[in-house]
Structure 1
Amino acid sequence: MPSRGTGSARWTRAVAAATLLTVALAGCTSGGKASTSDASGTVELTMLTFETPNLPASLWDSAIARVSQKVPGVKIKKLVTPNVDRTTYAKQLASSGQLPDVMIAVNPQGFAEGGQLAEFGKDELKDFASPESGAINGKIYQLPTNAQPQSLLYYNKADFTKAGITAPPKTWADFLAACAKLKAAGITPIAVGGGGQDTFASMYTWVGTVGTDVYLADPDFSKQIRDGSKTFADPLFVKATDKVAQLAKLGYLDKQGTSRSYADHEKAFRAGSAAMYPMGSWFATSADNDKPKFDVGVFPWPSDDGKAVVPNLTGGGLSVSAKADNVDLAKKFALEWTKDKETSDAFTRADGTFNTVAGYQPPADMGPLFKATLALYNQAVKDGTVTPALSIEQGDNGLPADLTVPVQQIAVELLNGKSDAQAAVAKLDKEYAALK
């Protein structure tokens, strides 16, 4: 589930932002610098993971055991983040000298510029389809392993039929018309989330509108924010933000959803809380593996002109601490993890990841919703309409990682109707100025 400064003030700010995790930390295994070598020469390395309804402990444990067998001399000690905010948690560990030796899906910005991550060389990246994805100052610090489309609209086909909607909308005007029909039929049009510490789930409407209205038209928008040539008050960004506020004002959002955790958010959609569920590709495998009581379809976030735009994160792979007891061994484990077909298949089945190791093919028996989702992504790749995803952009084209949580909190305010586009943009500019 986003320039990362390297000064002590920035790290202090990151730790302060994560104080809500302090209690959880007290009960968690910590480490990173606990790497040891036993009498046989086996090196123990810590690996930071995370668990979700799709990715339970058993999946991680089996993958770690399997890949460890392919890397003689390594023993992995698993760490688990107390929630899905892996980057903030990793920063908190780093601030006390406990940065894990291996990390998965932790945003490398800030860590990389601070010299805390090992660089992967060209030869190590030769098997990746997008070897330069997520580059920071031209260097790769996180294996560009997975593509995960964001803000796809999964929908209840029965609700669409009841409301008289004969086909998924392609344009924004058609989308608003469909929402109006659903509301008139007594059906809440759009499910939203973001309760508790799962504020990331609030982002998917905003990610969709920014992808279609901003990043497709101006792929360098984030870079221009960072170099100061643009602000979030740019007309394109205001327009995209106003669309989210418009959905709230028209009563098309399930406002109760912003109090739900991510897991409860999905459960509510499965129970019929709303007709449409803006989410990432991981929901496709969730629905295929545990089918709801209704048929689910999927379509891209609607754009003004009907282009099928797919916001996407290509990254989320493994990074290695530059201070690991054995950096070479840690990198070897990370590479073996990425290239192990059984592990890749397990995560594809569980979390809908599109593995970007060259030549990888997902299991042939993947479910219909996964295949439909993959087809949308592949078509967008072909059409050149894949864009970054707001707040989790990668590398030199990314917004500051420390901006991620404030963006999510502002998104909740938009969904609740407590903010409008102008107020949200002004607050976002203020947050960004504070980070600089």
Structure 2
Amino acid sequence: MKKILTLGAALTLAAGLSACSVGDNNGGSTSQPSGSAAAAKKEITFLVFETDNLTPQFWDDNIKRVSEKVGVTVKKIVAPGDRTAYAKQLLASGQFPDVQIGLQDLPSFDGSGNLAEFSDEDLKDFLCPKCSAIKGRTVQLPANTQTWQVFYRKSLFEKAGITAPPKTYAELLADAEKLKGKGVQPFVIGGNPSWGSSLPWTGELTTDLYAANPDWMHQRRDGKTKFDSPEFLKATKKFADLAAKGYLNKKDIGQSYDASQAAFLDGKGAMYPMGSWFAAASDASKVKDDIGIFAWPADDGSFHLPSFTGGGLTVNAKSPNADIAKKFAVAWQTDKDYLDTSAVADALFPAIKGYTLPAKDGTVFKAVYDLYRQAVDQNATVPSFGWEQGDDGMIAGMPDKWNLSAQDIITGKKTPEEVLKYLDTEWDKSS
């Protein structure tokens, strides 16, 4: 059960194990092989994605260091947009890279045996080795923990006479109305990639679905529940209501992730539902001291925080260089310098034994991590709907359909009832 796995990883991470297993700059981890003459002659391709936080220099520096440690030549491939969609295109055209990072919708790739399985030895340094597993097989390295929350601009709240972040859902709606009344767009969202549109829906499902039933996704897989269940419909209607009231701007679905991030930092909206990685961009901005965070509030004011452990590297099982690609993948995810740079650049919480976060002055990052620790301490972590992987997530092809359905709701193209009927139909066709 993912909640238990993720929580266990979080607790161990927070404890900061003393026996360090993280690879040092000289390749000290036993999971990282020394280079050989044969390995040095091999070249692997590595699919990455670039953002304002994860710059070309970030990738180049880490690739250079880890590839030299492993003894392999690495050719970087940069996704021109949504990395998962691009990886699917490459797979369909027979150009699937040897290594990929952060793929979503894992079953779509693994169905024909395209993803290599990592062994117990490969996974010995990971806090949650079976997070994101597919039928017990770990095909994506469970590299880090992320959380989802709402970032907000303190000055815009003050402009609307709001003195504190909302504690209940009724307060969230009241605050959104106050902001709108002052000419401030309540929420900023994105639409390309499509998951940028679904994050408020994830928030609604956190409190109305997973807080009461964290096993819902497993029950859907077993055919014991459906999308059109009363609890799922309730959360979806609340999401649709945000759009109907104008709190979500339908024009926002035309903007990219980088554009939505810039819009929030430029003060074009007061609240920004987003993953913990946004803390890095927040702390690098001129408005970092004007940014606060809060967990998506429940009707009764109870506290729940969606989190997920996974998101690391995957390897093409059919590559002639699969073995060295797996060595590179494990070395990458356990390399201390990479972990430090990714924690700083992308505000990740590495789920690696013996790793401790580097000292940081980032006020937003600290607030995000403190919220996460609070959720762990209170046993208040829940799965993050739409972001789970493997057996804990949706079946192949459904994440894209769910994300795009969020856009249908925001634009009013479909009603909540129509969307949930569509999702059930598509799920049953794909099962």
TM over 0.5: yes
Task: Please tell me the residue identity of whatever aligns with 2:165.
Answer: P
Tell me the distance in 2 between the aligned counterparts of 1:178 and 1:240.
19
Tell me the distance in 2 between the aligned counterparts of 1:362 and 1:347.
10
Between 1:42-51 and 1:377-386, the stretch displaced more is 377-386
Matched, 1:89 2:108: no
Task: Judge conservation of contact 1:192–1:265 (CA < 8 Å) in 2.
Answer: yes
Out of 85, 92, 96, the residue aligned to residue 99 of structure 1 is 96
* CA shift for structure 1 position 293: 7.7
Tell me the distance in 1 between the aligned counterparts of 2:39 and 2:102.
31
- Where in structure 2 are there 5+ consecutive unaligned residues? 1-35
Task: Please tell me the residue identity of whatever aligns with 2:158.
Answer: T
* CA shift for structure 1 position 41: 5.3
> What SS does the corresponding residue of 2:109 show, helix, strand or coil?
coil
Task: Judge conservation of contact 2:289–2:363 (CA < 8 Å) in 1.
Answer: no
Matched, 1:54 2:59: no
Tell me the distance in 2 between the aligned counterparts of 1:259 and 1:333.
37
> What SS does the corresponding residue of 1:191 show, helix, strand or coil?
coil
2:401 aligns with 406
Structure 1 pair 38/88, CA: closer, same or farther in 2 (3 Å)? farther
1:176 aligns with 173
Task: Judge conservation of contact 1:308–1:385 (CA < 8 Å) in 2.
Answer: yes
Between 1:324-333 and 1:162-171, the stretch displaced more is 324-333
Task: Judge conservation of contact 1:155–1:298 (CA < 8 Å) in 2.
Answer: yes
* Structure of greater relative contact order (alpha carbons < 8 Å, 6+ residues apart): 2
* CA shift for structure 1 position 289: 1.1
Task: Judge conservation of contact 2:133–2:139 (CA < 8 Å) in 1.
Answer: yes
Aligned counterparts, 1:313-352, within 5 A: 313-352=308-347
Task: Judge conservation of contact 1:147–1:356 (CA < 8 Å) in 2.
Answer: yes
* CA shift for structure 1 position 39: 8.0
Task: Judge conservation of contact 2:288–2:363 (CA < 8 Å) in 1.
Answer: no
* CA shift for structure 1 position 241: 0.5
Q: 1:32-75 CA distances to partner (integer Å, 9 max, x unpaired)?
A: xxxxx998852111111111222122211111001112112x11
Tell me the distance in 1 between the aligned counterparts of 2:134 and 2:38.
38
Out of 183, 188, 192, the residue aligned to residue 185 of structure 2 is 188
Matched, 1:271 2:269: no
2:131 aligns with 133
1:31 aligns with none
2:14 aligns with none
> What SS does the corresponding residue of 1:277 show, helix, strand or coil?
strand
Tell me the distance in 2 between the aligned counterparts of 1:420 and 1:170.
28
Number of aligned positions between the proteins: 395
Out of 390, 394, 397, the residue aligned to residue 395 of structure 1 is 390
Tell me the distance in 1 between the aligned counterparts of 2:184 and 2:86.
39
2:41 aligns with 42
TM-score (norm 2): 0.87
Tell me the distance in 1 between the aligned counterparts of 2:260 and 2:387.
20
2:200 aligns with 205
> What SS does the corresponding residue of 1:149 show, helix, strand or coil?
strand
Aligned-residue RMSD, C-alpha: 2.0
Between 1:164-173 and 1:411-420, the stretch displaced more is 411-420
Out of 373, 376, 380, the residue aligned to residue 385 of structure 1 is 380
Structure 1 pair 274/433, CA: closer, same or farther in 2 (3 Å)? same
Tell me the distance in 2 between the aligned counterparts of 1:40 and 1:311.
41
Tell me the distance in 1 between the aligned counterparts of 2:138 and 2:39.
33
Tell me the distance in 1 between the aligned counterparts of 2:118 and 2:320.
17
Task: Judge conservation of contact 2:209–2:231 (CA < 8 Å) in 1.
Answer: yes
Q: 1:262-285 CA distances to partner (integer Å, 9 max, x unpaired)?
A: 111111112221111111111111
* CA shift for structure 1 position 377: 1.3
State percent identity of aligned pairs: 46
Aligned counterparts, 1:116-265, within 5 A: 116-150=114-148, 152-194=149-191, 197-265=192-260
- Where in structure 1 are there 5+ consecutive unaligned residues? 1-36
TM-score (norm 1): 0.86
* CA shift for structure 1 position 205: 0.2
Task: Judge conservation of contact 1:245–1:419 (CA < 8 Å) in 2.
Answer: no
Task: Please tell me the residue identity of whatever aligns with 2:171.
Answer: D
Task: Judge conservation of contact 1:254–1:274 (CA < 8 Å) in 2.
Answer: no
* CA shift for structure 1 position 294: 6.6
Tell me the distance in 2 between the aligned counterparts of 1:327 and 1:193.
36
* CA shift for structure 1 position 358: 1.7
